Amino acid sequence: MKLNENYFRLEESYLFSTVAHRVNAYAAAHPDKKILRMGIGDVTLPLAPAVVDAMREAVGEMGRKETFRGYGPEQGYDFLRESIRGYYARRGISLAADEIFVSDGAKSDLGNILDIFSAENTALIPDPVYPVYVDTNIMAGRRVVFADATERNGFLPMPDENTDADLIYICSPNNPTGAAYSRAQLAEWVAYARRRGAVILFDAAYERFVSEEGLARSIFEIEGARECAIEFCSFSKTAGFTGTRCGYTVVPHELAGGACNRMWLRRQTTKFNGVPYIVQRGAAAVFTPEGERQTEANLAVYRRNAKRITDCLDGLGISYTGGKNSPYIWLKCPGFDDSWKFFDYLLEEANVVGTPGSGFGKNGEGRFRLTAFASEEATEEAVSRIQKMFKA
Strand pairing category for 122-127 and 143-148:
parallel
For residue 299, give the amino acid letter. Answer: L
Residue 36, classified by CB atoms within 10 Å of its CB into exposed (0-12), middle (13-18) or buried (19+), is buried
Kindly state whether residue 178 participates in binding ligand PLP, applying the rule CB under 6 A: no
Q: How far apart are CA 81 and CA 230, in angstroms?
A: 16
177 binds ligand PLP (CB under 6 A): no
Contact 237, 206 (CB under 8 A): yes
Part of the chain binding ligand PLP (CB under 6 A), chosen from 89-97, 105-113, 162-170, 285-293:
105-113
Q: Is 171 in the site for ligand PLP (CB under 6 A)?
A: yes
Q: Cβ of 382: how many Cβ atoms within 10 Å? A: 25
Asked if residue 88 binds ligand PLP (CB under 6 A), the reply is: no
Please pick, from the candidates 19, 38, 39, 41, the single residue that binds ligand PLP as defined by CB under 6 A: 41
Which of the 8 DSSP states describes residue 288? S
Q: Would you count residue 76 as binding ligand PLP (CB under 6 A)?
A: no
Residue closer to ligand PLP (CB basis): 122 or 242 = 242
Rounded to whole angstroms, the Cα distance separating 193 from 252 reads 15
Choose, by CB under 6 A, the member of 234, 244, 280, 363 that binds ligand PLP: 234
170 contacts 201 by C-beta, under 8 angstroms:
yes
CB-nearer residue toward ligand PLP: 230 or 256: 230
Among 76-84, 102-110, 118-126, 288-296, the segment contacting ligand PLP (CB under 6 A): 102-110
Considering the complex, state which of residue 256 and residue 360 has its C-beta at the smaller distance from ligand PLP: 360
Task: Classify the phi-psi angles of 169: left when phi > 0, otherwise alpha if psi is within -120 to 50, otherwise beta.
Answer: beta
Q: Please choose, from the candidates 152, 91, 16, 14, the residue with its C-alpha nearest in 3D space to the C-alpha of residue 287.
A: 91
364 binding ligand PLP? (CB under 6 A): no
Cα gap 88→90, rounded to integer Å: 5
Distance CA 226, CA 232 (A): 14
Q: Which one of the spans 104-112, 138-146, 192-200, 257-265 is the region binding ligand PLP (CB under 6 A)?
A: 104-112
Helix residue spans in 207-362 (DSSP H): 236-239, 259-271, 277-285, 289-316, 339-350
Q: Please identify, using beta-carbon distances, which residue of 110 and 386 lies nearer to ligand PLP.
A: 110
Using the minimum distance from each CB to ligand PLP, give the nearer residue, 248 or 350: 248
Site string for ligand PLP, 125-164 (x = CB under 6 A): -----x----------------------------------
Q: For the chain, count helices (H), then strands (E).
A: 12, 13
Number of residues that bind ligand PLP (CB under 6 A): 13
Exactly one of 172, 236, 261, 268 binds ligand PLP (CB under 6 A); which one? 236
Q: Is 175 in the site for ligand PLP (CB under 6 A)?
A: yes
Options 1-9, 14-22, 103-111, 259-267: segment touching ligand PLP (CB under 6 A): 103-111
Nearer to ligand PLP, 112 or 242 (CB): 242
What residue ranges bind ligand PLP (CB under 6 A)? Answer: 41, 105-107, 130, 171, 175, 203, 205, 234, 236, 242, 247
